Amino acid sequence: MPAILYYSTNARLSPDSGITPFRDCVSFREALLMGQAPDEGLFMPCHIPPLTLSEVERLKGKPYQDAAFLIASAFLKEDLSEDLIRQVVDDSYNYPVPIERVTDKIYLLRLDQGPTASFKDFAARMMARLMSILRPAGKRLHVLVATSGDTGSAVGEAFRGVDGIDVTILYPRNEVSPRQKRQLDTIGENVQAISIDGKFDDCQNLVKEAFADPELKDLNLTSANSINFGRILPQIIYYVWSYAQVAEPGQEIVFSVPSGNFGNALGCEYARRMGLPVRRLVMPTNENDEFPRFLATGEYRKVSPSRACLSSAMNVGHPSNLARFFELYGGTVDRTGIVHKYPDLEEMRKHIFSVSISDKETKDTIVRVFKDYNVLLEPHGAVGWRGLEIFLSQNTIDDPCIILETAHPAKFPDEIGDLLGIEPEVPPSLKEIENRSGRPIEMPASYESLKRYLREKGVREA
Ligand SMILES: *Cc1c(COP(=O)(O)O)cnc(C)c1O
């Protein structure tokens, strides 16, 4: 088999669309290092490698790394040696992945045991190791990210100590919580936080300007954002692994995935297309309801500006990975939310269910699930829970259902305290942060300052 190549979601646009389509295919390595196609489309694999049910069933009772090896090999075996793939997955996944059985049919997959207690650790850790291995020979890469909190810390922690890569994280001084600030400031080693006297938008603009600056070309700047296909691939793994743990051979399954930018849910979509028997992908959103409204009406309109909800990591008015979902169902939507071609709506409804969950329902769900099942959810997982309940109220399903809990309740002590009057136990990864020290570099929201910093750092290391 030749290696899988990657194309842009904008490739089929006509040049009259206002976008000059990128029509080349690139290797995994290029897709990983470029992050996004030159036409601002998202990279997609030209071919989705099949999984056989017996391969999946053999994962029952096996460690998570075995599933990671199976999926990573399916995509990368022509790009990386077996030994390197093994090394990547063993290094990436050194923490538990608990599955809790809540009722006969309903399971909770807790993706909150990584270093930043968020499911984003799964993708960021594997992408960091792939970038280190696939970086240009003899060169260092410099990852530059702007964050409003959680993504930056997952990326920073994922790259800490990874060979050949430096990381600079920009965050808005007055827009991160004290806990987030501490986490970002104290990562250490090859990871430096910069506290910007400005807003998140300022941080993003500074990063954009740096990427566009020809005078920084020699620094090999790269982004590690959520649209990189290197972050989608690892998100296929937990669907396959958890299916193998809970389903009977050949049984269908329902996944409920609390969704914001749709990268997580996309992992499930790919798992199904590889052959996993997924009856339905449930994608509840918070009050940013552009997608459930689209599935109901067939008309897409982004929510702008996005609404601030309790499940803050899902406050997204136009999900970046919607472009990939549209493409998989025969449509095209661009980065700005303009639909160039609508996808096959009937086909989408057959496989995907989506519903918007209000903040009130989110809170009620946290209270009710704790009371009824003694299960502690945080706001994102509660959206996933409520979405599944609504799906089950409209469909007769006998299959097992897995809800993804995407963050640890200890990351939301105030909300949980208000609702339940308890203090969630802090996992060791978050506790450890209390004992760390480190300082950010303080900087005004000025591109000249950032550029000077990046140049000096680049020169020091050369
Ligand atoms: C990022 C995030 C989400 C949303 O995931 P997407 O891939 O953007 O849909 C959900 N929950 C938590 C805790 C997150 O950090």
User: Model confidence at 178, in pLDDT bands (50, 70, 90)?
Assistant: confident
Convert the pLDDT of each residue in 259-297 to its tens digit.
999 999 999 999 999 999 999 999 999 999 999 999 999
| 29 located within any domain | no
Domain containing 444 — which CATH number? 3.40.50.1100
What is the H or E stretch that residue 296 is in? helix 290-297
Q: Are residues 151 and 245 in the same domain?
A: no
Give the per-residue pLDDT at 461: 63
The Å distance, Cα 405 to ligand 1 centre, comes to: 10
Residues 437 and 393 in one domain: no
Domain membership flag for residue 177: yes
- CA torsion 36-42-45-50 (nearest 10°) is 130
pLDDT tens-digit readout, 223-252: 887 789 999 999 999 999 999 999 998 899
- Domain membership of residue 18 (yes or no) is no
Q: Which amino acid is at 5?
A: L
Read off the pLDDT of residues 39-58 as tens digits, 9 standing for 90 and up.
989 999 999 999 999 999 99
Q: Domain for residue 35, yes or no?
A: no
* Contact status, residue 144 vs residue 223, Cβ threshold 8 Å: yes
pLDDT of residue 199 exceeding 80: yes
Locate the ligand 1 atom nearest the alpha carbon of residue 320 and give its number.
8
Is residue 84, in this structure, part of any structural domain at all?
no
- Give 433-451 pLDDT, tens digit per residue: 888 999 999 999 999 999 9
Helical H segments across 64-147, by residue range: 64-76, 82-92, 120-134
Q: Are 101 and 109 in contact (CB under 8 A)?
A: no
Is 350 part of a structural domain of the chain? yes
CA–centroid distance, residue 226 to ligand 1 (Å) = 10
Instruction: Indicate whether 206 and 137 sit together in one domain.
Output: yes
> Do 278 and 170 sit in the same domain of this protein?
no
Are 293 and 410 in a shared domain?
A: yes
Kindly state whether residues 336 and 204 are assigned to the same domain. no
Domain co-membership, 269 together with 318? yes
> Do 105 and 146 sit in the same domain of this protein?
no
CA of 113 to the centre of ligand 1 (A): 15
Q: Are residues 411 and 286 in the same domain?
A: yes
Do 283 and 411 belong together in one domain?
Answer: yes
Reported as a single tens digit per residue, the pLDDT across 76-135 is 999 999 999 999 999 999 999 999 999 999 999 999 999 999 999 999 999 999 999 999
Classify residue 13: in a domain, yes or no. no
Given a cut of 70, whether residue 221 has pLDDT beyond it is yes
Q: Rounded to two decimals, what is the model's pTM?
A: 0.95
Q: Which is it for the CA torsion 122, 125, 129, 132, positive or negative?
A: positive
> DSSP 3-state assignment of 118?
strand
**Cα(247) to centroid(ligand 1), Å:** 25
Q: What is the pLDDT of residues 399-427, one digit of tens each?
A: 999 999 999 999 999 999 999 999 999 99
Q: Which atom of ligand 1 is nearest to the CA of 264?
A: 7
pLDDT of 200: 87
What does the pLDDT average to over 334-350? Answer: 96
Number of domains in the chain: 2
The answer to whether position 67 is within a domain reads no
What is the span of the domain harbouring residue 369? Answer: 96-113+233-420
- Looking at residue 242, what is its pLDDT? 98
Residues 237 and 273 in one domain: yes
What residues line ligand 1, using a CB cutoff of 6 Å? Answer: 118, 120, 150, 258-265, 313-314, 380, 406-407
460 pLDDT tier (thresholds 50, 70, 90): low
Chain centre distance of CA 262: 8
pLDDT on residue 408: 96
Confidence at residue 204, expressed as pLDDT on a 0 to 100 scale: 87
Say yes or no: 101 and 183 in one domain. Answer: no
For the chain, give the mean pLDDT.
95
462 pLDDT more than 70: no
